Amino acid sequence: MNTVLNVKDLCKTYITNKRQNNVLKNVNFKVEEGEMVAVMGPSGSGKSTLLYAVSGMDRMTAGEVEFCGKNIEKLNDNELAQLRLDDMGFIFQQMYMLKNLSVLDNIILPAVKSKKSDESRAQITERGLKLMKKLGIEEIANNDINEVSGGQLQRACICRSMINNPSVIFADEPTGALNRTSSDEVMEELSKLNSEGTTIMLVTHDAKVAAKCSRVLFIVDGNIKGEYNVDVTKALRDRERALNNWLMEMGF
């Protein structure tokens, strides 16, 4: 397998009221192509900060992050923005979409703005509709974003994250704002994408979500305290039980 994300001695420090807050401290890990990796840990442990740093949404203080062989710290702001647009997909707990656009237009917007291909608007629209059909939401294509359910909107966000065929999807608490039924539906779709070869790195506080991943990184006070390989051959309930036992041992 190819390494799509190689993180070496990553540090992130904030200065607040003249005090230094070391949020991430010499973090090291790799993500291989086709993996689905969950990042877990207590509130304030640095989970989201880690996700933003390795995806280039926030600049690191020290260390190195190689994304598909590129050292993102050496890219200027425009190069980094283009990399995020073309080769990364993003899903957030809060489903950020433009209110003046339909659901479909929100989904295809990254492809319209990308320089990755010379597709026509009609071709991009067709791909967007195919993604919506794949995730079972084609009927809301022309709806405004305030006319659909939270679960439908999050699946639309998954479509948007996939529109440029990214190397990695980064997801920050993608089910955090959903009820259990919608959460299960969204995770089922992410699991399907992963089974088709899409690499996913997600932050979650939910062991039920993490049990559907192949690996779990547990972070405490800015350090990766442990790593757990999920036995995906076991039934989901058994995976959840085994993961919960490990998390308890980690002090979660």
Whether the pLDDT of residue 1 is over 80: the answer is: no
| Higher local confidence (pLDDT), 21 or 162 | 162
pLDDT given for residue 117 in this prediction: 83
Please report where in the chains the tokens 């207590």 appear, as a residue: 42
Set out the domains of the chain in order of their start, with CATH numbers. 3-95+170-249 (3.40.50.300)
Q: What is the pLDDT of residues 201-212, one digit of tens each?
A: 999 999 999 999
Q: How confident is the model at residue 242 (pLDDT cuts 50, 70, 90)?
A: very high
Closest by CA to 25, choosing from 57, 50, 56, is 50
**The pLDDT of residue 97:** 92
Amino acid at 101: L
pLDDT tens-place string over residues 87-115: 999 999 888 899 999 999 999 999 999 98
Report the pLDDT value the prediction gives residue 140, as an integer from 0 to 100.
96
Question: What is the arithmetic mean of pLDDT over 228-241?
Answer: 95
The β-bridge relationship of strands 168-172 and 88-92 is parallel
Contact between 207 and 214 under an 8 Å Cβ cutoff? The reply is: no
pTM above 0.85, yes or no: yes
Q: Closest by alpha carbon to 220, among 25, 74, 4, 6?
A: 25
pLDDT of residue 182: 87
The reported pLDDT for the residue numbered 19 is: 83
Work out the percent of the chain whose per-residue pLDDT is above 70: 100
Q: Is 8 helix (H, G, I), strand (E, B) or coil?
A: strand
pLDDT at 18: 78
Give CA–CA dist 247/226, Å, rounded. 9
Find where tokens 């440029």 sit: 164
pLDDT at position 32: 96
Query: Mean pLDDT over all residues of the chain?
Result: 93
